[in-house]
Amino acid sequence: MERFINILVIDNNPININGLRAMLIGGGNNLIFCENEDSALPILEKRKIGIILINIERKSVNGFELLQRLKSNPNSEEAYKIVISESTSSGARLVKGLREGAVDYLSSPFNPNLVKAKIEVFKTLYFKDRRINQLLGNIFPQNVLNDLNTTGKFSPKRIEEGVVLFTDFVAFSKIAKHQKPMELLHQLEEYFNKFDEIVERYELEKVKTIGDAYMALAGVNESNKKPAVRACLAAVEMRDYIINRKQLALATNKDFWEIRIGIHSGPLVAGIIGSKKISFDVWGDTVNIAARAEQNSEANNISITDRIAGHVLPYFELTHRGEIEIKYGGQVDMFFLEQLKSKFSLFEEGKLANSKLRKACDLVTMDFDFARRFILNKLKSSLPDELVYHDIKHTLNVERSAERIAGLEGVEGEALILLKTAVLFHDAGFIFTYEKNEELAIKLIEKELPHFGYSNEQIKEITKIIMSTTREVEPKTLLEKIMCDADHDYLGRADYHVVANRLRIELEAQNRKMTDKEWIDFQLNYLENVHEFYTETAKNIRERGKQLRIQELKNEWADLNTSI
């Protein structure tokens, strides 16, 4: 399986550049060449780099000074730096390069086998580092990780108004008695994975799971506005997800789970405990009251305290429960959180926040996750069966390719959401017609995306990205180029012939049947005379594969002629 990585080469020696290009292009290596420090720094500001090769012999490169700067650049601090030395290099310069942060060196002229071997070693280490950081990110909040990386410790912090959310499954012990352990664990994992997704969407922080209980925070490790509102939005979505699962289970005569949710806000102390197996946690009466609010809730209901109600009353429909006696906490005034008020709801259904409320909470105004769910469901249910190439698998493959290219190109934030939205909707027109389908996809976008919080300007940008895939339009912006390259990513992949054969079958269903020779001619004409990759990333990781596909087709053509 290919692993894709940005490799930055800072060198102005054409012999070295040509040699590295010939040795390393392909295999998931996205080579970026810069002649000096001035041209390298903008790249480092934008893209995440995995390996950096620096020629320390060239004065124009300023190799040693650049190594020092790379230590503080967030996009390069985790990169493996390798210095390039030429035959005149002294051992002292290599030692200095290693002291400045380099992990290894390459001697020019290069030994191809040695260069490839070293790059593969550091590539493997880089992806292991990423996996470790990902796992740590799943355990600790980002601010805790930042403190641990810089100072080696995280001092306990007091938060005056943190929000604590607890969930717990009703009668879980009874459920556990009647289910096989692996089935129970699988189902619990499925629910918690969904909760993780919801918590991340509303910028909350998951703290831990305790058996069948799930705990999350708002207003503790992030700076987004309205933490109580965001916690309630997450709680409503969690509850509705469980209710939907229950309704499906009842319809299919299967067992179902129910949930209780409790939310409270107040002062907290946050910190990490342990010396060997350390963990992040929070303490204080606020945690205890939130837990009691959950325990005193009812099946598939959300119980909030008066502290939370004071923050969310303008936005949500509440039902007053009155004062409830809780263990060790006395009388606490509680409410049931019902749903959003219609004027703050996306479809006026009381479930999802509209763009106005999302903006007030410092959330991205576009609800991409639900737009994605909408279009995938529509494609699954409405695409004609004879579309075996432009099917939902194609859309998901293009989405993965677009994410990969965008990641290597340094695209993130709103731009990435616009790109992914364009990818998911770009073939929606096939629901209605085979020819000129882009225009109908755009009409669908203009109708549906406003419901998901997309502005007119954002919809226009998505429209341009989709239209760039037509033969009449030349892609100009980076997002348009990524869209086109992702749509044709398979042209340079090893599974090209499998995918192309699906296209042939689909064309035959449209009365465009071809003989074997005509089919080979059709492919060669497109690959050689029509198609081109637009981003440097796609050229680096797919052009070589595309040329191999062309040669394979030419060999197939020759074999056909020989057999006649």
Report pLDDT digits (tens) over 465-489. Answer: 999 999 888 999 999 999 999 999 9
Classified as helix, coil or strand, 247 is helix
Query: pTM for this structure?
Result: 0.85
Q: Is residue 399 part of a domain?
A: yes
* 319: Cβ contacts below 8 Å, ≥ 6 apart: 335, 336, 338
Residue 199, classed as helix, strand or coil, is helix
339 and 441 fall within a common domain: no
Residue 101, domain member (yes or no): yes
Q: Are residues 124 and 272 in the same domain?
A: no
Output the pLDDT for position 270. Answer: 86
Q: Which of 360, 387, 402 is the last residue of a domain?
A: 360
Tens of pLDDT, residues 123-169 = 999 999 988 888 887 777 777 777 777 776 677 889 999 999 999 99
Q: For the segment 39-54, what is each residue's pLDDT rounded down to a tens digit?
A: 888 898 889 999 999 8
What's the pLDDT band for 348 if we cut at 50, 70, 90?
A: confident
Angle, helix 456-467 to helix 437-448, in steps of 10 degrees: 160
Do 52 and 176 sit in the same domain of this protein?
Answer: no
Of 360, 379, 414, the last residue of a domain is 360
Cα–Cα distance between 460 and 182 in angstroms, integer? Answer: 48
SS3 340: strand
Domain boundary among 84, 106, 138: 138
Q: What is the pLDDT of residues 440-465, one digit of tens each?
A: 999 999 999 998 889 999 999 999 99
One domain for residues 98 and 172: no
Contacts of 371 (CB under 8 A, 6+ apart): 421, 424, 448, 449, 452, 454
Q: What's the total number of domains in the chain?
A: 3
Do residues 61 and 10 make contact, with C-beta atoms less than 8 angstroms apart? yes
- Residues 132, 164, single domain; the answer is no
- Is residue 144 in a domain? no
Query: Any idea what the CATH number is for the domain that residue 111 is in?
Result: 3.40.50.2300
Whether residue 277 is predicted with pLDDT greater than 80 in this model: the reply is no
Report which DSSP code applies to 269: E
Which CATH number goes with the domain that contains 431? 1.10.3210.10
Do 93 and 178 sit in the same domain of this protein?
no
Torsion of CA 288, 291, 297, 303, to 10 degrees: 80
Q: Are 393 and 448 part of one and the same domain?
A: yes
Say how far apart CA 500 and CA 310 lie, in whole Å. Answer: 60
CATH number (domain holding residue 193): 3.30.70.1230
Whether 233 and 315 map to the same domain: the answer is yes
Distance, in Å, from the CA atom of 222 to the CA atom of 388, rounded to the nearest integer, reads 45
Residue 551 lies in a domain: yes
On whether both 356 and 239 belong to a single domain, the answer is yes
Report the b/e string of 170-180 with b at 16+ CB within 10 A: bebeebeeeee
Q: 146 lies in a domain?
A: no
Q: Residue 221: its pLDDT value, please?
A: 83
444 and 555 in a single domain? The answer is: yes
pLDDT tens digits along 494-521: 999 999 999 999 999 999 999 999 999 9
**Residues of the domain holding 543:** 368-563
The per-residue DSSP string of 141-175 comes to -HHHHHHHHHHS----EEEEEEEEEEEEETTHHHH
- Residues 408, 318 share a domain: no
Domain membership flag for residue 145:
no
143, part of any domain:
no
Give me the pLDDT at residue 564, please.
Answer: 59
Tell me if 151 is assigned to some domain: no
